Amino acid sequence: DAKTTQPNSMESNEEEPVHLPCNHSTISGTDYIHWYRQLPSQGPEYVIHGLTSNVNNRMASLAIAEDRKSSTLILHRATLRDAAVYYCILDTGNQFYFGTGTSLTVIP
Amino acid sequence: SQTIHQWPATLVQPVGSPLSLECTVEGTSNPNLYWYRQAAGRGLQLLFYSVGIGQISSEVPQNLSASRPQDRQFILSSKKLLLSDSGFYLCAWSQPTRGGETQYFGPGTRLLVL
């Protein structure tokens, strides 16, 4: 069974914010939440990660629910270069568990 | 800075032939190393990970094997390829971790078994 569930696809207009949701209801207290993105025929690229508190970096923000059973990746202003498959991942310390990803389309 | 290399970039092999994919990391020592497979349109599946030379953990039973002959070298092998082995193979490294470390992925090898 998948440890994370995400919508298969989402669309956003260019320069508008994007909220990518992820459910991880079986998360344990020590599991980290990571987000990576992948362009076609390339390896995944790190976006952001967190444990309990919300996180911000130059690429995105990560909002983690208080019960940690869901999280949201926020791209503040989508650009055409943000079009990719975004993976929500549970990090148990031994390994990463990838979801099936959300394919983000950015509309000019 | 750290870099990760994989080769070959693409490979077409007949069913029943052997396989050897190589991954090397530069600019770090004693990394954790990982092999993933990605089927078309799917997420990544962890195949093997290694925390040190000669230490291999397998996550999925299959006809593949992995070896780590040197600190920064990770090899994925098969004696006889199956059609179902086709996919995109990715190597990654991280600092030793109990969680929260970033994994850095290589460019991948696209394998087509015919």
pLDDT in tens, chain B (114 residues): 889 999 999 999 999 999 999 999 999 999 999 999 998 878 899 999 999 999 999 887 678 999 999 999 999 999 999 999 999 999 999 998 888 899 999 999 999 999
- The partner residues of A64 in beta bridges, in order of sequence, read A71
Q: Does B105 touch chain A (CB under 8 A)?
A: yes
Count the alpha carbons within 13 Å of B70 in the hemisphere toward its beta carbon: 8
Q: Does A83 touch chain B (CB under 8 A)?
A: no
Pairing of strands B10-13, B109-113: parallel
pLDDT, one tens digit for every residue, chain A (108 residues): 678 999 999 999 999 999 999 999 999 989 999 999 999 889 999 999 999 999 999 999 999 999 999 999 999 999 999 999 999 999 998 789 998 899 999 999
Cα A21 to Cα A64: distance, rounded to the nearest angstrom: 10
Indicate yes or no: CB of A93 within 8 angstroms of CB of B42: no
Going from the C-alpha of A22 to that of each of A6, A19, A87, B48, the distances in angstroms are: 5, 10, 9, 26
Whether A103 contacts A18, CB under 8 Å: no
Indicate yes or no: CB of B100 within 8 angstroms of CB of A42: no
Cα A9 to Cα A20: distance, rounded to the nearest angstrom: 10
pLDDT of residue A102: 97
A58 Cβ neighbours under 8 A, 6+ residues apart: none
Using DSSP, how many helices (H) and how many strands (E) does chain A show?
0, 10
First vs last C-alpha separation in chain A: 36
SS3 assignment, position B92:
strand
Which one-letter DSSP state was computed for residue B102? Answer: P
Please name the member of A93, A96, A100 whose beta carbon is closest to the beta carbon of B103. Answer: A96
The residue among B2, B35, B103 with the most chain A CBs within 10 A of its CB, best to mutate, is B103
